[in-house]
Amino acid sequence: MTEKDFLPGVYQKSPDNGKVTWKAPSNIALVKYWGKKPVQIPANPSISFTLDTCATTTSVLFEKKDNNETLSFDLLFEGKPKDHFKPKIQAFLERVETYLPFLKEYHFTIETSNSFPHSSGIASSASGMAALSLCLMDIEKELNPSLDEDLFNSKASYLARLGSGSACRSVKGSLVQWGRHSNIPKSSDLYGIEYPFEVDPVFKSYCDTILLVHKGQKQVSSTVGHQLMHGHPYAEDRFEQAFSNLDKLKPILANGDLEEFIKMVESEALTLHAMMMTSMPYFMLMKPDTLKIINKIWQYREATKTPVCFTLDAGANVHLLYPSSNKEKVQIFIKDELVGHCENGQYIHDQVGSGAIKIND
């Protein structure tokens, strides 16, 4: 599909008002997206596990208005007005208006809430932008009931990408790939697709415990972080590595090869942080407790031969990944050894999920 496919035809209906609600999960990348061209065209392909528990629920109420010249909306976050988030949503709506021409015809009330604790340092932009995009697509479907499901999902992912790159991987489950790759049919820079190759069942129920090492404001926003890949001395090699890692991942995912999976996932996380440490300006988002946790994971894996590994986003929190068959003993390890390194002892048990869902009121 190309950008043109996302321009709607003439709408068949014109409801006066209504309400839609969607719940979209967060996702955790195995091969990371880091570096982009405008607007959120990734410098390299990426792939992620869709999560389940960590999610954003968004309702959009829409009501016909008289003036069709401007965008108009109110924003409520966890029940309270949140003007602070408005500029980001305004910019997003302006960016997608060409693809959703009904936007200026209605006043919107956007109500959003996260399942995870506020300012836990977990990226809410992926789940938030995915949930909002799905709501907007659902409204478009009311205006154009013949909209088919494939187009609905691809366009929701396309719109989410325009809000935040990684958000395009939060529409479907359980493994989502984004970014054009010559060996992955139907892959696109414009939206995420369900990973089209064989995946061993072990990965369908993989667990992710998010260890909240540092809950404060991120030192660097991902937008600024991505920019630092322009002119970065190792950028081209890194982008090539991501392309090749997606090739290498194919037999690993098909065969459930956990040893190779662990090497790939940990190397990707450390490469992401190595890119941040070697950009100009440089920065370091790991905290001392991040490193302590990583060392404990390595020791535990060595001593018990349990296939646990870690990955990181652009922050200090650690995602501990392990097969669900190891859940009991790994969760004891977490309680005994890792919780002490988390801010206020906080962590979240999550697992691979099957994508966003519509909530019927």
In the chain, the N- to C-terminal Cα span, in Å, equals: 33
For ligand DP6, the closer of residues 154 and 311 by Cβ is 311
Q: Using alpha carbons, select from 234, 172, 162, 216 the residue that is nearest to residue 3.
A: 162
- The H or E element spanning position 97 is none
Q: How far is CA 285 from CA 42, 312, 347, in A?
A: 22, 10, 18
* Structure tokens, 24: 């979209």
Smallest distance from ligand DP6 to CB 125, Å: 5
Bridge partners (DSSP) listed for residue 350: 208
Smallest distance from ligand DP6 to CB 40, Å: 5
* Structure tokens, 115: 């399942």
Q: Which residue is nearest to ligand DP6 (CB)?
A: 165
Bridge partners (DSSP) listed for residue 109: 61, 74
User: What letter represents residue 94's amino acid?
Assistant: E
User: What letter represents residue 127's amino acid?
Assistant: S
Q: Which residues bind ligand DP6 (CB under 6 A)?
A: 29, 32-34, 40, 46, 123, 125, 164-166, 222-223, 226, 272, 313-314
Smallest distance from ligand DP6 to CB 340, Å: 26
User: What letter represents residue 47's amino acid?
Assistant: I
User: What letter represents residue 23's amino acid?
Assistant: K
3-state secondary structure of 304: helix
Smallest distance from ligand DP6 to CB 46, Å: 5
Smallest distance from ligand DP6 to CB 224, Å: 9
Smallest distance from ligand DP6 to CB 269, Å: 9
Smallest distance from ligand DP6 to CB 87, Å: 14
- Residue 341 in contact with residue 329, Cβ under 8 Å? no
CA 337-209-34 angle, 5° bins: 115
Q: How far is CA 353 from CA 186, 205, 308, 349, in A?
A: 22, 8, 19, 12
